[in-house]
Amino acid sequence: MTDEALASDQDNLYEHHNFTASEGQEPLRVDKFLMNFIENATRNKIQQAIKSGNVLVNDKVVKANHKVKPYDKVRVLLSHPPHENLLVAENIPLDIVYEDDQVLVVNKPAGMVVHPGHGNYSGTLVNGLIYHIENLPTNSNERPGLVHRIDKDTSGLLVVAKTEQAMSYLANQFFDRTTDRLYNALVWGNMEEDEGVIEGNIGRSFKNRLQMDVFPEGNYGKHAITHYKVLERFSYVTLVECKLETGRTHQIRAHFKHIGHTLFNDERYGGERILKGTTFTKYKQFVDNCFKVLPRQALHAKTLGFEHPTTKKWMQFDSEMPEDMQQAIEKWRNYTVHQKE
């Protein structure tokens, strides 16, 4: 498709993705660039979009071998609307911890995506929320009810705004860092200190756009602070409590990898490999069994506190660690005991 044909057909195309290459972007083929950027994308789908003339760099149609450079604007246009704009209410069971006319607190299971996006157009928390509640307000990203989110394979508590007033009031609390959020995480290695603070800007990795990196010099990314306290040690892994002072994408996952303690079984950040321990076959089998029990990153949003939008009362909620994390931790606890015998 020529630029002229694309322009004439513009009314029939919908923007599905829009990326701006970072200042540190090394020249990279646009097909590989999009593979790094778009979660769950297949090479075949990206190649088809390029062949159809639906991939633009700086508003010009490009071929697959076009090199993306710093500050380039890359867009993917397709003939159908993005699925995330076609929200469908679904009767999905929700673990509702609390609900009134302003807010709802839900305990999200691991494996549930919070909102629709590429590769996950149904079965999300938002699909269930709009079935359960009519006329949810939308945030700046047009996502109903959401004032914060947690990753697909992270379990735990989320607060949902049911009115415009609640949306604004809660959003301000998250912006002002006055909410209280505690997470439990199982991380590789024996943490040296019983408690501490991890501080360092978090931004998209220049090498893998599906990961976040830490930039301690502060020249890139957004300011991020994580406080941690050791709860229990198991020789080769450590159970920690994390308190978020900021709420950046993958903050806990990126911060702990940065200090050499990647989350246990966090595939995206390399935690699905044996990072600490021995070379004995029995140990490898034990770790593999832990991975089978806990087939996701060991992270749970345990505690959530905020000021209620209308009553102004402080509300604090706590959730039990899910069964898969409890089982993996119990395995490590028993393993450590037997090692000492």
Catalytic positions, written as ranges: 151
Cα pseudo-dihedral 91, 92, 93, 98, rounded to 10: -90
d(CA 113, CA 259): 28
106 closest CA partner among 98, 114, 115: 98
Between strands 60-61 and 225-233, the pairing is unpaired
132 closest CA partner among 92, 86, 81, 73: 92
90 closest CA partner among 120, 65, 61, 110: 120
Q: For residue 162, count other CB atoms closer than 10 A to its CB.
A: 23
Q: Angle at CA 245, nearest 5°, toward 241 and 249?
A: 90
Q: For residue 14, count other CB atoms closer than 10 A to its CB.
A: 13
Q: How many residues does the chain have?
A: 341
d(CA 245, CA 224): 7
Q: Which two tokens stand for residue 167?
A: 């949306």
| Secondary structure of residue 264 in the 3-state scheme | coil
262 half-sphere exposure, CB direction, 13 A CA radius = 18
d(CA 194, CA 126): 38
